Amino acid sequence: MNNGFSILVIDDEIQIRKLLEISLEANDYKVHFAENGKEGIVLAASQQPDLILLDLGLPDEDGQNVLVQLRSWFENPIIILSVKSAEEEIVKALDNGANDYLTKPFRTQELLARIRTALRGKQTTNNQSVVKVGDLTVDYVSRQVMVEDSAVKFTATEYNLLTLLIKNDGRVLTHQYILKEIWGQSYSDQTQYLRVFVAQLRKKIEKDPNRPKYIITESGVGYRFNSG
């Protein structure tokens, strides 16, 4: 049985490919495999997978370059699987267009959860006029936000920040990306400025701002919106 989603794995490690083949097929995903970057790009174009799992340590080309090439035309989610755990490497991958980043060795259940989140975000269309997530409702036409059926006032910046996060449900957005999108290039290093606005948002939409359900902090990297 297939759940309708296909996944392309671009990784040269045979043990990882075997592990992923067993785990993904057991969860009803259709799986394609590529052992290097060139083969991966060709398969991505021909198979049009719903999601790509990409290793950065490929034998023929740097994985970051492969990611950039894919992102020039491939719009579906890309999750990085890599032994590289340095914060700057993670931020670089996310800024290059990755939706998420997991370091090897990873827990299979965590990977499956990240895949479900990424695919859920893919299914959420940005053309919806009203989005409801738990007790949070956002009407894009009227720019109104409701929490537990009560209207909550937002400044223009707060609203823009909230909707940016929602429209990228499940995707890790780096501090720099958010700052550029909301405030412009000149604010790209003002991470403390962003923290203040995130704290304000959490006070307005979270039941417990100290234990947020919707706006999740990715330490040292950025934020992720969690719709469920």
Q: Are residues 152 and 89 in the same domain?
A: no
Within a domain: 1: no
User: What six digits make up the tokens of 215?
Assistant: 């706006």
What gap in Å lies between CA 182 and CA 201, rounded to an integer? 14
Query: Which of helix, strand or coil describes residue 217?
Result: strand
Within-domain flag for 54: yes
Q: What is the C-alpha separation between 223 and 217, in angstroms, rounded? A: 5
Domain endpoint, select from 57, 88, 123: 123
The domain total for the chain is 2
Across 101-138, b (16+ Cβ under 10 Å) vs e yields: bbeeeeeeeebeebbebbbebbebeeeeeebebeebbb
pLDDT value at 151 more than 80: yes
pTM above 0.75, yes or no: yes
Could you say which of 91, 123, 155 is where a domain stops?
123
172 and 195 part of one domain: yes
Same-domain pairing of 41 and 119: yes
Together in a domain, 10 and 111: yes
Residue 126 has pLDDT above 80, yes or no: no
149 lies in which domain range? Answer: 130-225
State the pLDDT at residue 159: 94
Q: What are phi and psi of 95, to 5 degrees?
A: -70, -25
Same structural domain, 81 and 137:
no
Question: Do 103 and 202 belong to one domain?
Answer: no
Task: Find the helix packing angle between 156-167 and 191-205, rounded to 10°.
Answer: 90
Q: Which of 220, 223, 203 is nearest to 211 (CA)?
A: 203
Q: Binning pLDDT at 50, 70 and 90, where does residue 26 land? A: very high
